[in-house]
Structure 1
């Protein structure tokens, strides 16, 4: 179903690796254009059953034919088994990935985080609620943007398959990804291919 796009992605990834032999692009030194091995259909099914989720078809196709992590936007693609956790780099709290994704439009609190009239205890309660995994339910983290910001794949609901940004670390909420200059919402393969196209263009311009 996604054969042609996956073939394009594979060729563009090889081209990008050749063009960026010095690892000059952001994140390249982290992933080094290497991909984690592809998954088998049985491994995908096992992952879905373990976490009580259904992966979007485009992402499944990528796992089956390109890789299960590695080269990708920002600091690279996270492995699915790492993306289930609520905080980047920590495996002590799970995200509520099997729960319904609660948004169809960008979400944030209208809170003045610089209001000095609140006591520290009040801020602690607010902060804990704001960062609670229930706020990012239904998201699988797929890439670390840096500065506590993550890129995520929506797993269920009307926005299933879309890429959304979790920017709560900077008090900016959760919203459809637009960091590649896109005005429309992106699904996984288009998001990944747009990263390749922009990266190749940047290197050719140099």
Structure 2
């Protein structure tokens, strides 16, 4: 399928998984090979030209479309409720750090809109001590709670939380970070879009 066909042609028998910031494509390559004979199609989006070229050279399955662009630009292309799963492995700090919240919240709001009901968002991200010391349990859990609260407020619900990256996940940075688990603490959030979104309404004053 072409990129245009994938944007508009997904059905219940044709699933779509999108990796945002795919890097050199090593994880996307593994996924696409595993699903070579299935009805699952993949789109990988990477803004860095050098990494995009590496991914294009690595991936040779016909169930993948690669895009060299920023995912802020491309996520808008998808139909609402057209994506089954979005994967982000170690997104740049400007897309996940608390300091940049006001800038990135709109990205995840768009992702929520584009996911099918019960579609999933899987984020692998990290916390690093500013002084490059070991990350304390208190700092780790405070950070993890803030992340969860943030995504729940956007409408997501929690499927699973891992205090590490899935063992079958791989990227340039992830493979390096795994070698220093005390100073680089990783969390994986598996979130999903519920069938209905509960709206919290404050009671009227009487």
State the TM-score, normalized to the length of structure 2: 0.23
The structure with the largest strand share of the pair is: 2
